[in-house]
């Protein structure tokens, strides 16, 4: 569908473009980032006549028309001293039209990006606190519409607040005080290269196999203390790079920078790029154990994306101009396989124990088992609808479905992994597919789009099977109930018990975490004790409690997660009643819940009738865990 450019020929073409045509000069001033205003000035070479200027609309990795044009403010377009009138396109509102006067060869543009201080989302969500700021260049940039992103040259510069440092995959051309001039890059590389900045900074080089390029973990935090990661945490992150190389067998970047912003005041997410990833976690995520665990799979996930997303990309998502709508049909590969491989690498690196890895799988499986929307909506429809699904309210998510291509992708690719192992009698694994599809030869950033047919052919080359029929059943058709085939094929079963799930505990330690009762009463409570979702057909649904209401009291005592847990335990033990006082808008109602099952947490239990493929999948490839880890694994029934 699109021309495949080798990295070297791309660099050559770009160097030529820079030499032949004057680049856009973009200078961003972050000195007022703590006040949530990013200032930008641009010089754009132009020719006289009508000109359409674009603000990036469809953002790679966000799978949606998310470009935050609503926060573009203070726009001034000048030709010399003359202020030009501009007009927004009435339909494509990310497009601004001006007429360049005769004799004018450059426009000077000044604009502000009003960085939000609250709310959720991705690059349009809170990017700054008083001590850190992450710059996504697309938020401060207008460029001639119709330009192909790999071919338009831009020369970026950045002014930082006094005492701040910056980390990015961009190469520095010159640094003077707090002003950094970066080497010219294509528009595509610029948008692919965010800058994480902050007052507290630590760079940690990560060892890589010999011959591999440099990998650096950059921590930027609201406080100096947050940078003091424990040696064992850093040791596990250091194992991530060799484990990824053992999986893929090659790299597709010139250098890799993990940008990690640690702040309770920025939006928390990860966004993938070819040569870096923009990771944002709560401030103490490298310090305190429950938070370390809660954030453990983020960097592995975004790192895997350098291969599965940036290098190999579904053709419907490989648009490369920020204006062509994206087609998300293959997000169960782009995100689903990345989730699976990210979780596998998290375990192989020792960022989680095998038991914690199984609790992660169990939580994902149980979440899908309690997603009633599976009865009306196939997985592929959630992928096609991704442009809305990310922004959907939590309310109604069990019946609506959400971005299920992540967790169901994990189940799906675990089954593929198990099937390859079984069909080839252990001779081949999904690792072999990863090397064939994402691996050699080594090189710099490159995009190689693929179709579903090409994916199926590549799987067939590893293990002969009717993979198209397999995906039709798993992805395209309705599948009510839990998708447990992968877990079962790997030698385990989904079970529920009162034992806490390690990941649920870790997630509940995060700021603003809610209470997950989906597998018992059938609800998710927000941190403000509002009913954020009710599973249709669950005990709470049967009792007439709906979303949006506030849980005020349990058995006449003011609600807290502990009071509710005690009531669940008493009801299980001796059949005591569970009576809830609920405030729905201005009205209070009492609901008796017919539930005696106690707390229910998801876990995996070993199925001794089958070989334990899961433990083989999760086992490290490049190091040997300490004996106590192996012992723990054996006790859980997961011996090699």
Binding site for Zn ion (CB under 5 A): 335
- Chain-centre distance of CA 293, in angstroms? 16
For residues 478 and 374, is the Cβ–Cβ distance under 8 A? yes
Bridge partners, 601 (sequence order): 497
Residue 60 main-chain phi, psi, to 5 deg: -55, 140
Residue closer to Zn ion by CB (options 335, 343) is: 335
Residue closer to Zn ion by CB (options 269, 519) is: 269
Rounded to a whole number of angstroms, the minimum distance from the CB of residue 257 to Zn ion is 17
Residue closer to Zn ion by CB (options 329, 335) is: 335
| Of 561, 555, 545, the residue nearest 599 (C-alpha) | 561
Count the alpha carbons within 13 Å of 526 in the hemisphere toward its beta carbon.
12
Rounded to a whole number of angstroms, the minimum distance from the CB of residue 323 to Zn ion is 22
H or E, element range at 630: helix 627-635
Please give the biggest Cα pair distance in the chain: 88
Which tokens is 197 given? 């900045």
Rounded to a whole number of angstroms, the minimum distance from the CB of residue 70 to Zn ion is 25
Rounded to a whole number of angstroms, the minimum distance from the CB of residue 53 to Zn ion is 30
Count the alpha carbons within 13 Å of 439 in the hemisphere toward its beta carbon.
15
Rounded to a whole number of angstroms, the minimum distance from the CB of residue 562 to Zn ion is 35
| Distance in Å from the first CA to the final CA of the chain | 44
Bridge partners, 44 (sequence order): 107
Rounded to a whole number of angstroms, the minimum distance from the CB of residue 366 to Zn ion is 21
Residue closer to Zn ion by CB (options 341, 369) is: 341
H or E, element range at 49: strand 49-54
Residue closer to Zn ion by CB (options 36, 273) is: 273
Rounded to a whole number of angstroms, the minimum distance from the CB of residue 314 to Zn ion is 13
Residue nearest Zn ion, CB atom distance? 335
88-92 long-range contacts, CB within 8 A, separation 24+:
89/52, 92/57, 92/323
Residue closer to Zn ion by CB (options 272, 355) is: 272
71, 215, 266, 433, 441 from 253: Cα distances, Å: 32, 10, 28, 20, 11
Q: How far apart are CA 475 and CA 485, in angstroms?
A: 13
**Dihedral (C-alpha) 590, 595, 598, 604: value to the nearest 10 degrees?**
-130
Residue closer to Zn ion by CB (options 143, 332) is: 332
Residue closer to Zn ion by CB (options 121, 546) is: 121
Residue 421 main-chain phi, psi, to 5 deg: -65, -40
Rounded to a whole number of angstroms, the minimum distance from the CB of residue 306 to Zn ion is 11
Residue closer to Zn ion by CB (options 339, 356) is: 339
To the nearest 10 degrees (0 to 180), the angle between helices 336-348 and 354-369 is 160
Which tokens is 20 given? 């032949």
Rounded to a whole number of angstroms, the minimum distance from the CB of residue 334 to Zn ion is 7
Residue closer to Zn ion by CB (options 274, 372) is: 274
Rounded to a whole number of angstroms, the minimum distance from the CB of residue 308 to Zn ion is 9
393, 549, 592 from 585: Cα distances, Å: 18, 7, 19
């Amino acid at each position: 569908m699109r021309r495949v450019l080798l990295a070297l020929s791309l660099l050559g073409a770009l160097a030529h473009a820079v030499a032949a045509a004057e680049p856009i000069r973009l200078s961003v001033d972050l000195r007022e980032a703590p006040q949530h205003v990013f200032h930008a000035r641009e010089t754009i070479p132009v020719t006289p006549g009508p000109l359409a200027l674009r603000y990036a609309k469809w953002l790679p990795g966000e799978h949606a028309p998310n470009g935050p044009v609503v926060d573009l403010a203070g726009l001034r377009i000048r030709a010399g001293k003359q202020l030009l009138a501009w007009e927004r396109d009435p339909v494509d509102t990310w497009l601004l039209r001006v007429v360049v006067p005769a004799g004018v060869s450059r426009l000077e543009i000044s604009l502000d990006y009003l960085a939000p201080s609250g709310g959720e989302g991705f690059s349009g969500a809170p990017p700054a606190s008083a001590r850190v700021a992450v710059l996504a260049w697309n938020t401060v940039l207008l460029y001639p519409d119709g330009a192909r992103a790999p071919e338009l040259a831009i020369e970026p510069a950045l002014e930082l607040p006094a005492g701040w440092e910056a980390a990015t995959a961009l190469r520095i051309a010159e640094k003077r005080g707090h002003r950094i001039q970066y080497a010219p890059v294509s528009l595509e590389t610029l948008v692919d290269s965010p800058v994480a900045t902050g007052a507290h900074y630590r760079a940690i080089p990560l060892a890589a196999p010999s011959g591999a390029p440099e990998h650096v973990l950059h921590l930027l935090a609201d406080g100096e203390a947050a940078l003091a990661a424990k040696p064992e945490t850093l040791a596990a992150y250091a194992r991530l790079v060799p484990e990824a190389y053992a999986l893929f067998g090659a790299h597709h970047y010139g250098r890799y920078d993990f940008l990690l912003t640690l702040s309770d005041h920025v939006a928390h997410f990860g966004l993938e790029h070819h040569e870096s990833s923009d990771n944002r976690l709560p401030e103490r995520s490298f310090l305190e154990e429950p938070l370390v665990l809660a954030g453990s799979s983020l960097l592995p996930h975004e790192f895997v994306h350098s291969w599965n997303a940036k290098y190999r990309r579904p053709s419907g998502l490989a648009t490369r101009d920020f204006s062509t709508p994206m087609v998300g049909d293959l997000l169960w590969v782009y995100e689903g396989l990345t989730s699976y491989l990210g979780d596998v690498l998290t375990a192989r690196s020792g960022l989680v124990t095998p038991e914690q890895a199984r609790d992660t799988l169990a939580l994902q499986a149980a979440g899908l088992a309690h997603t009633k929307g599976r009865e009306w909506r196939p997985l592929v429809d959630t992928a096609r609808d991704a442009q809305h699904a990310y922004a959907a309210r939590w309310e109604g998510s069990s019946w609506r479905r959400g971005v299920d291509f992540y967790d169901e992708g994990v189940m799906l690719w675990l089954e593929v992994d198990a099937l390859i192992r079984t069909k080839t009698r252990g001779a081949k694994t999904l690792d072999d597919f990863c090397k064939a599809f994402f691996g050699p030869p080594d090189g710099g950033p490159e995009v190689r789009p693929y179709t579903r047919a090409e994916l199926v052919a590549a799987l067939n080359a590893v293990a002969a099977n009717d993979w198209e029929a397999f995906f039709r059943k798993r992805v395209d058709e309705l599948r009510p109930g839990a998708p447990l085939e992968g877990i079962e094929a790997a030698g385990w079963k989904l079970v529920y018990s009162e034992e806490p799930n390690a990941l649920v505990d870790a997630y509940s330690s995060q700021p603003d975490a809610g209470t997950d009762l989906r597998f018992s009463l059938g609800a998710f409570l927000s941190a403000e004790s509002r009913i954020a979702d009710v599973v249709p057909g669950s005990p709470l649904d049967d009792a007439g409690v709906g979303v949006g209401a506030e849980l005020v009291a349990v058995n006449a005592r003011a609600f807290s997660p502990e009071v509710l847990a005690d009531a669940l335990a008493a009801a299980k033990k001796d059949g005591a009643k569970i009576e809830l006082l609920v405030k729905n808008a201005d009205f209070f109602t009492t609901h008796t819940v017919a539930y005696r099952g106690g707390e229910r947490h998801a876990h995996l239990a070993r199925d001794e009738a089958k070989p334990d493929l899961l433990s083989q999948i999760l086992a490290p490839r490049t190091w040997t865990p300490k004996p106590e880890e192996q012992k723990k694994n054996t006790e859980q029934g997961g011996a090699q």
